Structure formats: structure tokens, C-alpha cells
Structure 1
Amino acid sequence: MRHRLVATVASLLLVCGAAGSAVADTPSARPAAAAAASVQVPPGVTAGVAVFDRQAGAFTEELNTSTKFRSASIVKLLMALDYLWNRGPDYVVPPGDRAWLEPMLRSSKDGPANTYWSDNGGPAIVTRMARADRLNLQDTTPPPAGYEGFWGYSAISARDTVKIYRYLLDTAPAPVRDFIMGNLRQSTRCASDSFDQHFGIAGAFQKPWAVKQGWSGGTAFEAGTCTPAGGTPTATASATSRTAAPAALPAAAADVNLSLPALHSTGTVGAGDRNIVAVYTLHQPGTSYGKAYTDIGRLTRSLNVPGAARPAGWWYGTWSEKVNVRRNPNTEGDPMTKLPAGVEVLVGCQKRGQQVSVPPYTNDWWAYLPQYGGWITNIYISSPDNKMPDVKDC
């Protein structure tokens, strides 16, 4: 039977599209390997993008590279560098400091950032890291006056982000480079606040990649539902990049939007960290996390990133909230994690499994999601038929 009412299908097709497309022409997506030649920004999204090919020594993509965005958790890179600055080429991070630096970099944990910010001068961290004798950042500034405690309100741009990674890769002492980049290569799918953080770079390209992500949406983003390995979802919030902007913002913040939902993906892609990629996005008021996740994914997949390996499969939209990802094509056992509501996912193949009923729908086909290593029932795939027409059988 068709597991989607016609009217429902029509609306859901708006979130089911080909790589780099804003709206699909058909219910299914073209193969994920297809990539466009230049930046494709989905409707309603404001973006700043830079892709720097270190092998060629040139940018392959540039869009609003000097536009300032609130950094959200990207500023944690500056905190880590500030901690490591002038430590000496033989410095080894002691276990006690690794205990807070590693989760801050890998799973974007806010608690350590809050502590480091308050104990080391807050806005002064950003000011000193941006100085000409350090990173020489042009657009990076501390939070506006009156909001000094909100580290996520620091401003940053795509071109400054490229500078940060170029310093890490080409200039920083080897222990600094290896420590920070090594942690970014171990980015966890589930962030410490239970948001799925493998959007953008992490979803658009196969490894090797290293990423530092950022998100800030206040009440616009629903509570995180991602399940850390061996744990359970625990949505948390801090007084920094996870809260909504104050109702009244100072004039000093006029050039940086502090209210629209933000989702950012930065890092390196390819063997030898060939490409530095910085993608900053703002979304319309009320945009769900899943929709923002989908839009930054489509934008990132459209980029010209030389030598990057792209995952095989088909991109499909999903519907409903907190869709369970299962270890096998059945409902036995606890779910591996839950999808952000309405997110687009990469489907590697499909097969028949346990019949599932979600009235008025019934379906025994399951989709394998290689980026999660698990399965979801096809009931929640935005396709009009029980079996997706273009996806291979497992």
C-alpha cells in the first residue's frame, strides 16, 4: 500500500531532493556522488562560504567570505589555541586538561568553554587571538558590550576561519597541530548536548575529514535527540551559544545577527587536509533543526572541493519526529539513536524486514543509512511507495 497520503507526499517532497538542490523534481534523489560546480544556497538561507585548496594554494569557492556571523561553538577553536599558545614545541597536554579540551573539541561540550572563558578574560581571549602578532584575523571580534559572557556571540567570518586552519596546518608547532586536528578528526556524531552534529562537511564527504561545528538557535531548534554511545539523550543548555538572543540587542551588534537560527560547519576535507572548508549559515525564524541540517547539507554538497570523496547512495527526506535508527531492519532492542525531525538522510540500500504499522501506513521495507550504521523503516522516508524506486536492494 502507499504509505503516504497524496497531500502529505506533496508537502514532504519539498524536503526530499538531490544533492545540492533546494527542491526535488521527483520523490527520489539523484545519486549522492553528483556534485554541482558552485555554491548553491537553499531558499531562505543566508550563507558565508570559503573553500581553500591547500595543494593549489587557491580558493575554489568564495561567497560572502568577509560577512560576520556569530560564531556559536566555532570560537572554541580560539579557546583551545589560546590555551596552547606559547606552551613550547615539546608541550604535552596533561591528563587533567585533556579531560576538558577533548570533549570541547570533539563533542562541542559547553561546560569547559564556560569555565575557560570566565577564568581567562572572556572577550580578551578573542581579542588577543585575533591580533596581528597571532592569527591576524580581520573580522573576528568579541561579543558586544553588555553580553561579554556569551562566548557564542563572538563574530567570525569564513575567510578568518580559513586563516585559523591555515595556521593550524602550516604554522603551528606540531604538538599543537596534532592535538587540535587529532581531536577534530574524532568528532562524535552526538554532541554533548545531544544534538546530531554530523551535518555539513561530515555528511557531505567521506573521511578523511576533521570538523568543528557550531549551532545556535534557542527555542527555534527542538531539544537534541541524538544518543551518545553507551548513553541516553540529555538535552542541555548554557548561557552562551545555545540560548536565544536577548530581545533587545546593542547597536554594536548591528553587523552580526544574533537572533536567527545558525548552523555552521568548518574543518578540512581530503588526504593531507588538502581542503579547508568553512560554511556559515543563518536560517529563517522558526526553522527546525532538521530543516537547517538538511539545508546546510545541500549547500555543502554543492561545493567544489578538489579530490574530496563523496558518499555513495541516495538522499531522501524523512518525516515525523524522533525517528528511531535501528541496528537491524526490525524494532527489536533499543534504538541506536533518533533522527532530527524532518532531516534528509543518505540511503545506501533497502531490504525487506519486520512489517511495521504506523496507522494508516504499513510497510515491511527498511532503509539502510550508512552514515549512521543503522536502519529506519521506509514508512518515514518521503517517497510515495513502500519501496523507493531508485534505491538498490541490500
Structure 2
Amino acid sequence: MAAEHGPDDQRAGYLVVDAETSAVLRRHDSRHRFRSASLVKPLIALDHLRRHGEPSDADRALLEPMLRASHDDAASELWDRGGRKEIIHRMVAEIGLTDTEPPRDQDMWGYVVLTAADMIQMYRHLRAAGEPGAYVLENLRRWTQFGADGFDQSFGIPSVAQSPEAVKQGWSGFGPGPNDPAPPDPASPRRKIPDDRVDLDRPAMHTTGLVRRDGHLLIVALCTLHPAGTDWNSAATRLTELTTTLLN
């Protein structure tokens, strides 16, 4: 598979940089905008920690499942508490993100607009953000193989890099997970508010994190879109193949 597109026109945007020197090792369409899916969750967590300080036990009960197992209900709770789009405005200002914007539909944190380049900047900021950043990264290091929804989130970086130092995955458009209840009427999907900035229709799958390679710490962000109807396993296989190309 070519680095940019698969044989069926998979769309990919990626950036790989050396965390210490900022040298760019791999790049393609790194400022192409994608819907975030769960990649927004570290931003939700950092914003909460910035505003509230040391997390309480109740905070940890939301933050840790959200960061480790990509728990959607926890994200929704913290998204609402933080003021929804105001979270994104605060994080854009703090981190200096250039392409990230709130979703048109404020209910849908997974439709935040972002790029691989901004994900790299987020990880760089987390590494320099003191205790809040360290807390987020430690929980991303302790990612679980299965997300709270039951999907196997070991695609991409976890399948290619041994003991990554942080992992945050994202996926959207594959239907309910094994642990999710079936929608009441699958024939009537939720109406999407149009957004000309991003593709809200094709299945999205992303892999990001911190990886050790040959004595260097790399920051990796790879975002992809797949043709309509692509199933979970096919997308995961393609994404892992592309990650292998980027890291080898």
C-alpha cells in the first residue's frame, strides 16, 4: 500500500517528528482536516485539570477510563462540564493549535476538527505541561487493549511499536461496538449538521502516540479515512500496515 492512499483511495494525513530535536521524519497532508473521534479526549482531560487542579477520586473515575479505554460517556460528561466548544477555544489558545476548531454540532465532541500536525503539537505540549501533562501521558501509557465500547484498539502504533510511551486512538463510523446497545432504529441514523471543513461520513480511524525507536523518542500522528462500508478489521489492518511503513 502506498503511504498516501490505499488501492481503494484511503485518505491519510500523518506527521512523525523527533520529540527532542523537532526533526520531521515523515509527513504527508499533515494539515488535512479530519474529524477527531476520540483524539479530542486528551484535550478534554488537560482542560479539566487546568481548571480544577489535582483530580479528585470522582474526577479520576471519569478521566482514567476516558484516556485509557476511550470511554465515551465519561468524555460526554466532561465535555458538558467544561462548556463544550469553550474547551476547544481554551486549548487552542494554550497550546497554539492552528487547525483545531469546535464541531458545528456542540453535542458531538467526536466531530471536533483537527489535523495530524496539531496532534503532534498537543503531545509536545503535554510533555512540557507539568503535572497535568504528566497525568494525561501516564494514563495514555496505560491504554487498554479493548475500548470501553468493546472494539480492539491495538491497531496502528500498539501493533507496531513495542511498549509505546503513550497511545491515543480514534475511530468513528463503524457502528456500535460489541459492548454498545444496538441503535433503536439502525435505518434512521442521527442527523449530521453539515460541516464543509471535514468528512463526517466515511469511516475514520486514527493512531497517535509516543514511540521509542533507535534511542529516539518519536511523536507519531496518523489520521485516516476509509471508503464507505469499510469494516473495522479491514480499516485496522490498513492502518497498521501504514504505521509499519512510517516507523520502519
Q: TM-score under structure 1 normalisation? A: 0.58
1:164 is aligned with what amino acid?
M
| 8 Å CA contact retained: 1:48, 1:280 | yes
Matches within 5 A, 1:153-172: 153-169=111-127, 171-172=128-129
Choose which of 61, 85, 103 in structure 1 pairs with 2:65: 103
Judged with a 3 Å threshold, the aligned counterparts in structure 2 of structure 1 residues 291 and 195 are, in CA distance, closer, same or farther, namely same
How much has 1:200 moved relative to structure 2?
0.7
Secondary structure, in 3 states, of the residue corresponding to 1:49?
strand
Structure 1 segments unaligned to the other structure (5+ residues): 1-20, 23-38, 226-233, 306-394
Give the corresponding residue for 2:210: 268
Distance 1:236 1:100 in 2: 21
Structure 2 segments unaligned to the other structure (5+ residues): none
| 8 Å CA contact retained: 2:16, 2:220 | yes
Whether 1:182 aligns to 2:138 is yes
| 8 Å CA contact retained: 1:263, 1:281 | yes
Give the corresponding residue for 2:102: 142
Whether 1:67 aligns to 2:32 is yes
Give the corresponding residue for 1:151: 109
Secondary structure, in 3 states, of the residue corresponding to 1:179?
helix
How much has 1:264 moved relative to structure 2?
0.6
Q: Tell me which protein shows more helix as a share of its residues.
A: 2
Give the corresponding residue for 1:42: 6
How much has 1:224 moved relative to structure 2?
3.3
Distance 1:153 1:92 in 2: 28
2:242 is aligned with what amino acid?
L
Judged with a 3 Å threshold, the aligned counterparts in structure 2 of structure 1 residues 111 and 278 are, in CA distance, closer, same or farther, namely same
Distance 1:206 1:100 in 2: 28
Secondary structure, in 3 states, of the residue corresponding to 1:285?
coil
Whether 1:246 aligns to 2:246 is no
Judged with a 3 Å threshold, the aligned counterparts in structure 2 of structure 1 residues 283 and 204 are, in CA distance, closer, same or farther, namely same
How much has 1:181 moved relative to structure 2?
0.8
1:141 is aligned with what amino acid?
E
Whether 1:93 aligns to 2:55 is yes
1:125-160 deviation digits (Å, cap 9, x = unpaired): 1122112xx01111000001xx11111111000000
Secondary structure, in 3 states, of the residue corresponding to 1:302?
helix
Distance 1:204 1:75 in 2: 23
Secondary structure, in 3 states, of the residue corresponding to 2:167?
strand
Judged with a 3 Å threshold, the aligned counterparts in structure 2 of structure 1 residues 222 and 142 are, in CA distance, closer, same or farther, namely closer
2:77 is aligned with what amino acid?
T
1:247-296 deviation digits (Å, cap 9, x = unpaired): 6x43xx11211111000111110178811100100000000011000110
How much has 1:303 moved relative to structure 2?
0.5
Judged with a 3 Å threshold, the aligned counterparts in structure 2 of structure 1 residues 245 and 200 are, in CA distance, closer, same or farther, namely farther
Distance 2:223 2:182 in 1: 21
Distance 1:108 1:237 in 2: 19
Identity of aligned residues (%): 40
| 8 Å CA contact retained: 1:45, 1:282 | yes
1:299-342 deviation digits (Å, cap 9, x = unpaired): 1000046xxxxxxxxxxxxxxxxxxxxxxxxxxxxxxxxxxxxx
| 8 Å CA contact retained: 1:69, 1:280 | yes
| 8 Å CA contact retained: 1:200, 1:296 | yes
Q: Which has the larger radius of gyration?
A: 1
Choose which of 220, 229, 234 in structure 2 pairs with 1:286: 229
| 8 Å CA contact retained: 1:199, 1:296 | yes
Distance 1:196 1:244 in 2: 24
Secondary structure, in 3 states, of the residue corresponding to 2:87?
helix
Judged with a 3 Å threshold, the aligned counterparts in structure 2 of structure 1 residues 120 and 54 are, in CA distance, closer, same or farther, namely closer
1:301 is aligned with what amino acid?
T
How much has 1:41 moved relative to structure 2?
3.7
| 8 Å CA contact retained: 2:158, 2:164 | no
Cα RMSD after superposing both structures = 2.2
- Which structure ranks higher in relative contact order (CA pairs < 8 Å, sequence separation ≥ 6)? 2
Distance 1:282 1:244 in 2: 19
Aligned residue pairs total 242
| 8 Å CA contact retained: 1:193, 1:236 | no
Distance 2:237 2:204 in 1: 13
Distance 1:291 1:66 in 2: 25
